[in-house]
Structure 1
Amino acid sequence: MNVGDKHFEQKDIQTILKHTLLTGYLTRWANVFMNASFGTKIEKCHFVDCFAGRGIFGDGEAGSPIIATENLFKVQESFKQNYNNRLQFNIHTVETEEQYNDKLKELFHRFENRSGKVFNRHGQFNIELEKLIGFTKRDPALYFIDPFGYKGVQMSDIQKIIAVNRHEVLINVMSYSIVRNYNIKSSHAELKRFFGVDVIPPDLSEYIKLSSDSKFLKNTKLRFNFEKLEDKILDMYELSLRRNSIVPLYILKKRIHSNINPNIYFHLLFVTRSRDGLKEMKDAMVEYDSLRPKIEMDYQLKHDIDKAFWADDFFSEANKLEQYSYNDFVGEFINKFNNDVTTYGEVIDFFLQNSPLPFRSKINKKSIYDFSMDLFKKNIYVNCSSQSFANYKSASADNLEIKASFPAGYKPREYTTIEQITLF
């Protein structure tokens, strides 16, 4: 039995969480291009599942290619029915295991009479990539790269995709797989190609050593150090992406972890050249954090798991937005932008990528927009070329200049967010 056969026996909690984030972004991504197609010549969009698997788990739960197809075709058919929109979604799957690819073809039969198209490829991702880009290069595309580990994925592959206009990548950077394979010397060359480095850096070696210690989950200091080291590894991957890219990139990352199964942990890393994509993925990540407790509770009840086993999750990011304050926003703005001329677009880009804040919030006034309104409007230390902070689009935000000259030791006034409460 290979690792794939074991994985597809039952959909585990990490996979459910991963697919929750994927679904949240796909729906937003589809709606963005559906709406954009009314005023442009966008005729097709592509979703590419680069390690598609068999499409279904032994417990009947759908895999990523089926989830993506169902969601994208649903959005497409809704727009076609309501607005006669002709934009078409094309689904591409790549799978190296012949039996898995055959299963995918069987599952996709039910989509034959739908508006979109499905293309199945039996082969290896890195070998098929050039052909795939040939199909997608004229249109918007999202490449979902979710391998069993890191083998078969090179930094150069990601750079080829993201170099194409309107192409985005969502990749699984599987930390625990690095741990499992690091001591195998023959894996080092593949590991270096994955990270795009010539030498494995000390931080990675220290991370491997620490994560191999069975005591780290029970030791608060070790747990803290472990998380910081993991952040450094993701920073290394991000830096390599940016360093070798010929165009500016927006990058977001989300740690996928559950103490229901604490030995599996990874990050989904999102790469785009579009502020629209950045904003929509940040919204999807904020929504994911709000959905996660119920997802874990439902999984716990379904599989009769003791809640106490996973209640203390040191990887949890759900409380970061809750704890983030207006004073944090002001302090980070001053550190980054004070005594300089910047644009509102640069402020948005910085806080979307480096803070837990979304651009707007439907729940409370804890957002980049709301904090910007409070800090920039009627502030004697800030001069703005416009007071229009509601638009994050480049044509507006990139032309709104901001000059801040806060004195040393500046203290903002108290700021209170107001939650919207639904009574009925």
Structure 2
Amino acid sequence: MTGNSFFDEQKEQSLIKARIVEKYFWVWAKVIISTIKSSRKPIPNPRIAYIDLFAGAGRYKDGSKSTPVKVLETAISDPDMQKMLVSIFNDADVANVNSLQQAIDAIPGIENLNYSPQILNHEVGEKIVKTFQERRLIPTLFFVDPWGYKGLSLQLINSVVKNWGCDCIFFFNYNRINMGLGNDAVREHMSALFGKIRAEQVRERLRELSPQERELTVVEAICESLQEMGGQYVLPFRFRHELGNRTSHHLIFVSKHVKGYEIMKEIMAKESSDQIQGVASFEYNPASLQQPFLFELTRPLDELEFMLLEKFSGKTMRMKEIYDLHHVGRPYISKNYKTALINLEIKGEITVCSPIGKKRRKGTFADNLIVTFPVKQ
């Protein structure tokens, strides 16, 4: 991490990054713990885990708290998390490890955690990947925040998200990966991130693209690789440079369960810098049909109304069913669907009724409302 000015002080980008991770950890942990508690088959010694293999120092140089400290403070605030959380932090830099240990030791109530945080000092590579691959992991939130790209690989991410309740959030420096794709000296690292065949395809495609098109192509390729690997639900979030004229980093969420995807989408939507018609920007670049994955994540609310009429022509279904069948791969959250359906109802383009015995509150659109779409002419 030495020399990484992004982490010298907690600028707005790093604050948002930490907040997204902290918020998701809280909701993810509550959902997993609730599921474990309600299981018909009791689980002996139930545990959840938070793993950060590029943890960095415990505080930024300006003294503000880093992500590991915030996650542990969140866990300390909840009795169930205190009992069940196993936390593992790693960094290859000895100075960072020592700083992180001091910061963790100073957290009020750290002694209340049933499992003391483990702090390791290892290079991230094939050995760690193999360890994860050979084990069946307890539900784990995996955060990967490397300086550059060394150690970041599809195999590393898949080694964790393969098991139930395991999600991954990784943060990467786009500019370093963009430069790495054109550098034969780091070809092996690029193949580990994209897959060997896709890395070659991306290099070929980048040769004649503009800087903006290059970024979209790189992020699209990473998302496609993750989905092919089995991470069915992938959600990217872009961070601009503080001057606002170029991209700084990208944060990408990977999960095999739609519930995690829904939770993270709500969080990212609220942390977006702006909205168009109430639809969050997710700080994405303007995309085109050349990047279908990203394009679906940049369409406004007017377009949602049109898509619903096209997709569900002639069908009658509940609002929740509409949302479940349509939202994956698109930027819309539940609130957006309700707004779009209200707009369509006002314009007389759909009919809406309440279930038998239920009364609808004026100006609302409950999950159980029944929507009938006209047959497309």
Q: Which TM-score applies when normalising by structure 2? A: 0.75
Residues 309-342 of structure 1: CA deviation (Å, up to 9, x unaligned): xxxx99599xx999832x4223223455557899
Correspondence list, 1:208-219, <5 A? none
CA apart distance, 1:249: 1.5
Correspondence list, 1:236-251, <5 A? 236-245=221-230, 249-251=232-234
CA apart distance, 1:23: 2.3
Query: What is the aligned partner in structure 1 of residue 280 from structure 2?
Result: none
State whether structure 2 residue 308 is matched by structure 1 residue 333. yes
Give yes or no for contact 1:175–1:266 (8 Å, CA) kept in 2: yes
Which letter does structure 2 place at the counterpart of 1:110?
A: A
Instruction: Please give the alpha-carbon distance, in whole angstroms, between the structure 2 residues aligned to 1:289 and 1:340.
Output: 33
Instruction: Please give the alpha-carbon distance, in whole angstroms, between the structure 2 residues aligned to 1:133 and 1:70.
Output: 29
CA 193–257 in structure 1, closer or farther in 2 if over 3 Å, else same: same
Instruction: Please give the alpha-carbon distance, in whole angstroms, between the structure 1 residues aligned to 2:124 and 2:317.
Output: 41
Instruction: Please give the alpha-carbon distance, in whole angstroms, between the structure 2 residues aligned to 1:349 and 1:230.
Output: 29
Instruction: Please give the alpha-carbon distance, in whole angstroms, between the structure 1 residues aligned to 2:48 and 2:342.
Output: 35
CA apart distance, 1:49: 0.9
Correspondence list, 1:356-375, <5 A? 357-360=332-335, 367-371=336-340
Correspondence list, 1:140-289, <5 A? 140-201=139-200, 204=203, 207=206, 226-245=211-230, 249-260=232-243, 262=245, 265-289=248-272
RMSD: 4.2
Which letter does structure 2 place at the counterpart of 1:278?
A: Y
Instruction: Please give the alpha-carbon distance, in whole angstroms, between the structure 1 residues aligned to 2:316 and 2:220.
Output: 27
2:329 aligns with one of 348, 353, 363? 353
Which letter does structure 1 place at the counterpart of 2:140?
A: A
CA apart distance, 1:186: 1.0
Give yes or no for contact 1:170–1:268 (8 Å, CA) kept in 2: yes
CA apart distance, 1:48: 0.8
Query: What is the aligned partner in structure 2 of residue 221 from structure 1?
Result: none
CA apart distance, 1:132: 5.2
Give yes or no for contact 1:92–1:119 (8 Å, CA) kept in 2: yes
Which letter does structure 1 place at the counterpart of 2:113?
A: S
Give yes or no for contact 1:338–1:404 (8 Å, CA) kept in 2: yes
CA 135–249 in structure 1, closer or farther in 2 if over 3 Å, else same: same
Query: What is the aligned partner in structure 2 of residue 68 from structure 1?
Result: 71
Instruction: Please give the alpha-carbon distance, in whole angstroms, between the structure 2 residues aligned to 1:134 and 1:376.
Output: 53
- Residue 163 of structure 2 aligns to a residue whose secondary structure is coil
Instruction: Please give the alpha-carbon distance, in whole angstroms, between the structure 2 residues aligned to 1:322 and 1:153.
Output: 27
Query: What is the aligned partner in structure 2 of residue 44 from structure 1?
Result: 47
CA apart distance, 1:370: 4.7
CA 181–192 in structure 1, closer or farther in 2 if over 3 Å, else same: same
Q: Which runs of 5+ in 1 are unaligned?
A: 211-224, 293-312, 361-366, 392-396, 409-424
Which letter does structure 1 place at the counterpart of 2:337?
A: I
Query: What is the aligned partner in structure 1 of residue 292 from structure 2?
Result: none
Give yes or no for contact 1:37–1:87 (8 Å, CA) kept in 2: no
% identity of equivalent residues: 16
Instruction: Please give the alpha-carbon distance, in whole angstroms, between the structure 2 residues aligned to 1:287 and 1:264.
Output: 20
CA 274–314 in structure 1, closer or farther in 2 if over 3 Å, else same: closer
Q: Which runs of 5+ in 2 are unaligned?
A: 276-282, 288-295, 359-364
Instruction: Please give the alpha-carbon distance, in whole angstroms, between the structure 2 residues aligned to 1:197 and 1:335.
Output: 39
CA apart distance, 1:190: 1.2
CA apart distance, 1:181: 3.0
Aligned pairs, number = 346
Give yes or no for contact 1:13–1:258 (8 Å, CA) kept in 2: no
CA apart distance, 1:116: 4.5
Give yes or no for contact 1:151–1:191 (8 Å, CA) kept in 2: no
State whether structure 2 residue 97 is matched by structure 1 residue 101. yes
Give yes or no for contact 1:54–1:100 (8 Å, CA) kept in 2: yes
Query: What is the aligned partner in structure 2 of residue 128 from structure 1?
Result: 128
Which letter does structure 1 place at the counterpart of 2:305?
A: V
- Residue 144 of structure 1 aligns to a residue whose secondary structure is strand
- Residue 353 of structure 1 aligns to a residue whose secondary structure is coil
